[in-house]
Amino acid sequence: MSIIYGLLGLSLLVFIHELGHFIAARALGVEVETFSIGMGPVLLRKKIKTTEYRLSLIPIGGYCGMKGQKDFQFALDNKLDEIRGEKGSFYASNPLRRIIIALSGPLANFVFAIFAFALISLIGYSFYTSSNKIIIANEVYPELHSTAAEAGLKTGDRILAINNKNIHYFSDISDIIAISANKVLDITVDREGELFHFQVLAELDTSSGAGKIGIVNWVNLLITSIQSGSHAESIGFKIDDIITAVNGIETKNTSDLEKVLNSLKVAELDEPIQFSVKRENENIVLETDSSLLNDIQNLGLQFEFFKVHTPKKNIFTAFYSGVKESFKMIGLTFKGIGLLFKGLDPKEAVSGPLRITLMFGDTVKDGFAASFSIGLISALSFLALISISLCIMNLLPIPILDGGLILFATIELISSKQVSPKILYYVQFVGLFLILILFAFALFGDINFIFKN
Residues 6+ apart with CB under 8 A from 432: 399, 400
Q: State which of 219, 234, 268 marks the end of a domain.
A: 219
CB 200 within 8 A of CB 187: yes
Q: Which of 252, 262, 343, 266 is nearest to 298 (CA)?
A: 262
Alpha-carbon distance of 175 to 259, in angstroms, equals 26
For residue 436, is it within any domain? Answer: yes
Q: Quote the pLDDT of residue 445.
A: 72
CB 384 within 8 A of CB 118: no
Q: Quote the pLDDT of residue 187.
A: 98
- Angstrom CA distances, 415 to 30, 79, 422, 423, 435, stand at 23, 21, 18, 16, 28
Residues 101 and 6 in one domain: yes
Average confidence score pLDDT of the chain:
87
For residue 321, is it within any domain? Answer: no
370 CB neighbour count, 10 Å cutoff: 11
Residues 118 and 134 in one domain: no
CB 236 within 8 A of CB 223: no
CB 286 within 8 A of CB 277: yes
- Exposed / middle / buried, residue 207 (Cβ in 10 Å: 0-12, 13-18, 19+): exposed
CB 293 within 8 A of CB 273: yes
CB 134 within 8 A of CB 255: no
Q: Quote the pLDDT of residue 344.
A: 64
Residues 97 and 185 in one domain: no
CB 401 within 8 A of CB 435: yes
Radius of gyration of the chain measured on its C-alpha atoms: 28
Residues 206 and 145 in one domain: yes
Residues 103 and 24 in one domain: yes
SS3 63: strand
SS3 210: coil
CB 221 within 8 A of CB 243: yes
Residues 27 and 83 in one domain: yes
Alpha-carbon distance of 201 to 211, in angstroms, equals 9
Range of the domain at 282: 223-304
CA 232 to chain centre: 33
- Between CA 435 and CA 209, with CA 449 as vertex, the angle to 5 degrees is 75
- Which residues, given as ranges, of the chain have pLDDT below 50? none
Residues 27 and 114 in one domain: yes
- CATH number of the domain bearing residue 175: 2.30.42.10
Residues 17 and 93 in one domain: yes
* Catalytic residue IDs: 18
For residue 360, is it within any domain? Answer: no
Alpha-carbon distance of 276 to 267, in angstroms, equals 20
Residues 201 and 149 in one domain: yes
Which residue type is seen at 439? F
Residues 52 and 64 in one domain: yes
Q: State which of 257, 272, 304 marks the end of a domain.
A: 304
For residue 206, is it within any domain? Answer: yes
Which residue type is seen at 109? N
Alpha-carbon distance of 57 to 10, in angstroms, equals 15
Q: Which of 218, 229, 13 is nearest to 134 (CA)?
A: 218
Q: Which of 299, 273, 274 is nearest to 284 (CA)?
A: 274
Alpha-carbon distance of 96 to 410, in angstroms, equals 8
For residue 443, is it within any domain? Answer: yes
- Angstrom CA distances, 421 to 2, 410, 433, stand at 44, 16, 18
Alpha-carbon distance of 268 to 120, in angstroms, equals 49
Q: Quote the pLDDT of residue 281.
A: 87
For residue 168, is it within any domain? Answer: yes
Residues 227 and 213 in one domain: no
Residues 13 and 73 in one domain: yes
How many domains is the chain built from?
A: 3
SS3 129: strand
Q: What are the E-state strand segments in 49-77?
A: 51-66
Q: Residue 287's beta-bridge partner residues?
A: 274
Q: Contacts from 77-82 at CB under 8 Å and sequence distance 24+? A: 79/422, 80/421, 81/420, 81/421, 82/418, 82/420, 82/421
Alpha-carbon distance of 272 to 286, in angstroms, equals 10
Q: State which of 219, 235, 251 marks the end of a domain.
A: 219
Q: What is the DSSP string of 153-202?
A: --TT-EEEEETTEE--BHHHHHHHHHT-TTEEEEEEEEETTEEEEEEEEE
Residues 6+ apart with CB under 8 A from 353: 10, 442, 443, 446
Output the CA torsion sign for 317, 321, 324, 330. Answer: negative
